[in-house]
Chain A
């Protein structure tokens, strides 16, 4: 389906929905093509190729709301799908806040190229894909005799969608994505099997780095875990490496959402405009980064993309409030989706910051754990390295880091100069003081 066919289908579904009694409707139509190649023991272990289609229909009728999706896009089936969706919706409770957004909020949709789509996507050959995956495994295996298992993969996809609202919004998007991955497991002398991995991705095939560096990185990370243990519980300094999972940052998103604010599940309620975090923390939502992993021209409400400062030097500037919860809360909507996130960077590298640590833990990965959006309490498992007097002493694992979001983000003392580019959250390494770790 090309863009015009998708738009035509969306228009037809909206007309059918209205014919069946819907007041308003919103339709998304999408299709994608994906290829994945996994390599192992110098053979292709898995080769998967597929195309798929989908359609979702949101129905608004006298404050009643449902959202329905299907992958069967033949007109006859769709006709029945729409009729039954509308019929079902009539049984729901009447919610005065449910409606499509006021069309005045659709204004300002930009027509710019975000460089989300590789024009050469169709020219990438299966030979190139296989070569990349094979090279990753080959390189990794050549780097250490301790490796007991190694696999690698290459995948790519092309995604197209349109979005049409019955009260005047129309948008479309098209993007491509390429990624590769390698992981290795090594055996230590005690029978443990530490592992290391690397993942890189980008909108353009040309964004992918050389396999050599990735393989080296994965193997080094596994080797660095040899002899890892838990250490004594205590209050330590902490540096979170930019590459580590975003557990701590992610925990900030819940309390900032309109839904949690309205449902009284936010530890940030009533704190708008106040300085609640360290003045080192400036968080910017930027949907316009060329080739960014979450770059876009409009959000799920159909609001035009907007660059915005969410946290400015520790001051909470803006909550993340979509159309529905803005009406429930009686405030202006700010946009309910976060896109790419960038930070105000510091001046020093990770290595330079580590040199300043007296007694701390350099966290390079989070495992499990969770946070409570109502109270801000969190607790996560970690892996990392013990640092004393600026020196890396030994690898640690099986420890927890716990605290409260407000307190911990106030203990941030420095941002690194090293944003992580392989994520929509382009966070640098971050340095905190007085953090509670539990181990032995």
Chain B
């Protein structure tokens, strides 16, 4: 109910995640065009038909949007069908589905934005919404583009079987198999829960510069939750995988692996004991620990908070912020990853953006408004949760490049410290740069060796400070397969992070203080 403060946070999937979504036997097309080509091979004309519009109608809507002036406007059509299915107590006993359909209209004047949306895609309703958005502008009127020119996109998420062609009867066995594997994985396992989700989104984007683009965006995730009991003590943990993938992704090997990981990470916790917390050396395991980059630097490098002077990185472009072997990248073009996008939600090309190269802070992540403000080209980071939201600069897949060290020498270099393996959530307060990430499981390092398991402690640091304390970087980069969901300004966006094994010389770890 309350507006979020400027704290940004990320949740890497959790129990009770948002469960509004729809199974794709629903070929629901609210506007009737139902027997079109397969989603992957659709062309612009198919998208026009899908949304029941054409270039002329869109131009008329833009004319209404620019009727009171304004530098720029865009129109964003979206149709999303999603499905979640849950397994509990050995039964696939709940399904949640959602159909979401609408168009958002934005008018921009300098850094000022007028926005409105409608769930009814008729010329009349769209023009009314455009008129509301137009209220932001003050003077004169501008003409819509003379024509809309199609802007083609690469295909960063090729899939074989789209979720729209998969009935629930084909998904249920995946959950049952995963459940069976978890229960058989260890006699101490007493409960297992499985959550499966898939999404299929159609978007059509047109702007007053005369560009029109379209995209089909598939997505899936699966989570395995495990509870085990030993001598009256209970522990829980989970594992998740996913990405912009089709049905073929869920191979028997992958299901085996996620079941095995969930069980191992749960029963390992029986050996965990409370640790003495405090400042210590921390080795970040490859993969999920990339959440550190997301929180410590990623949010502070989104251009909006710099344009406003809020970010601690606002005056650090071109400056040395880390050791020479530290290179941090945001890359929306990695095939099939959760944060990948063929085109951003403003119609600009996705790219591989070097945020930090060889220790030097190089560029922010931009959307249209900030790119005009900073007089640079957009970096393809203008993203939005849905047609109900304005685009803002967001991360995609954020990771650190390989460095000069081996994982073995990194662990061996630590006398007393923490090996941080998996995380559930993180958060940053951009101004001060305080950020946290919550360790679900990891190990103590004693005399260069992993010893006791550790669990449920929060790690806290300061973004710029921690960057300077990354003292070793391994050569084993791993981008996290499942990815997470990032919250900012009241909007959610799918993202992924990655990291090679890396050592931070000092970070404050929660735990007992005696």
Contacts and interface: CB of A to CB of B under 8 A. Distances in A.
The reply to whether chain A is a binding partner of chain B is: yes
Interface of A: 40, 43-50, 52-53, 64-72, 74, 77, 80-81, 84-85, 87-89, 91-95, 98, 148-149, 151, 153, 155, 177, 179, 181, 183, 185, 191-195, 197, 199, 201, 225, 228, 230, 233-235, 263-265, 293, 328, 367-375, 377-381, 383, 397-402, 422-424, 436-440
Q: Which 10 A-B pairs have the closest CB atoms?
A: A368-B436, A400-B510, A379-B510, A438-B277, A368-B427, A93-B91, A379-B458, A195-B431, A95-B93, A193-B431
B513 A197 contact: no
A131 to B, nearest CB: 16
A225 B94 contact: no
A375 B456 contact: yes
Contact of A65 (B93, B118, B135, B315): B93
B236 A265 contact: yes
Contacts of B1: 177, 179, 201, 293, 424
A372 B427 contact: no
B504 interface: no
B30 interface: yes
B192 to A, nearest CB: 10
A398 B390 contact: no
Contact of A195 (B89, B229, B424, B432): B432
Given A47-B115, A68-B96, A381 B436 contact: yes
Given A49-B132, A383-B434, A378 B508 contact: no
B511 A379 contact: yes
A69 B128 CA distance: 26
Interface residues of B, number: 96
A33 to B, nearest CB: 12
B113 interface: yes
B457 to A, nearest CB: 5
A63 to B, nearest CB: 8
Contacts of A77: 28, 30
Interface stretch (B98-106, B202-210, B399-407, B470-478): B98-106
Interface in B61-120: 88-89, 91-102, 111-119
A400 B510 CA distance: 5
B194 interface: no
A201 B94 CA distance: 36
B9 interface: yes
Nearest to A187: B309
Nearest to B87: A93
B136 interface: yes
Contact of A263 (B19, B227, B311): B227
B97 A85 contact: yes
27 contacts: A43-B112, A45-B111, A46-B390, A47-B136, A48-B390, A53-B119, A65-B95, A68-B96, A71-B101, A81-B26, A88-B26, A88-B95, A95-B91, A148-B310, A199-B2, A233-B278, A265-B227, A367-B435, A368-B436, A370-B458, A379-B511, A399-B460, A399-B508, A400-B508, A400-B510, A438-B510, A438-B513
A175 to B, nearest CB: 10
B396 interface: no
Is chain B's binding surface mostly helix, strand, loop or mixed? Answer: strand
A194 B432 contact: yes
Contacts of B462: 398
Contact of B434 (A177, A370, A381): A381
A74 B32 CA distance: 12
B6 A197 contact: yes
A92 B458 contact: no
Given A87-B25, A402-B458, A402-B510, A440 B278 contact: yes
B458 A91 contact: no
A412 B318 CA distance: 50
Given A293-B1, A372-B236, A68 B508 contact: no
Contacts of A383: 434
B116 A65 contact: no
A225 B136 CA distance: 36
B212 to A, nearest CB: 24
B310 A195 contact: yes
A439 B508 contact: yes
A343 to B, nearest CB: 20
A263 B92 CA distance: 15
Contact of A369 (B20, B28, B436): B436
Given A402-B458, A402-B510, 17 more contacts: A46-B112, A46-B114, A67-B94, A67-B97, A68-B22, A69-B22, A69-B98, A84-B28, A85-B26, A88-B168, A93-B172, A193-B309, A193-B432, A199-B3, A368-B435, A397-B432, A398-B462
B513 A436 contact: yes
A422 B296 CA distance: 31
B135 to A, nearest CB: 6
A368 B9 contact: yes
A437 B508 CA distance: 10
B417 interface: no
Given A47-B115, A201-B1, A148 B460 contact: no
B116 A402 contact: no
Given A88-B25, A149-B308, A192-B432, A368 B460 contact: yes
A370 B235 contact: no
Contacts of A47: 112-115, 133, 135-136
Contacts of B98: 68-70
Contacts of A265: 15, 191, 227, 234, 236
A192 B310 contact: no
A50 B278 contact: no
Contacts of A95: 91, 93
B112 to A, nearest CB: 6
Contacts of A377: 455-456
A254 to B, nearest CB: 8
A429 B20 CA distance: 36
A371 B388 CA distance: 32
A438 B511 contact: yes
Nearest to A34: B388
Given A199-B5, A370-B425, A372-B456, A71 B94 contact: no
Given A264-B191, A368-B435, A400-B508, A72 B30 contact: yes
Contact of A228 (B30, B119, B432): B432
A255 B199 CA distance: 31
Interface in B441-480: 455-462
B500 interface: no
A293 B1 CA distance: 8
Nearest to B111: A45
B429 interface: yes
A401 B458 CA distance: 9
B99 A374 contact: no
A201 B2 contact: yes
B229 A264 contact: yes
Interface in B352-386: none
Interface string B295-337: 0000000000000111110110000000000000000000000
Select the residue from B5, B191, B462 with max chain A CB neighbours within 10 A. Answer: B5
Contacts of B20: 69
Interface in B168-183: 168-169, 172
Select the residue from A46, A374, A377, A422 with max chain B CB neighbours within 10 A. Answer: A374
Nearest to A378: B456
A129 to B, nearest CB: 12
B289 interface: no
A293 B513 CA distance: 38
Interface in B104-148: 111-119, 129, 132-133, 135-136
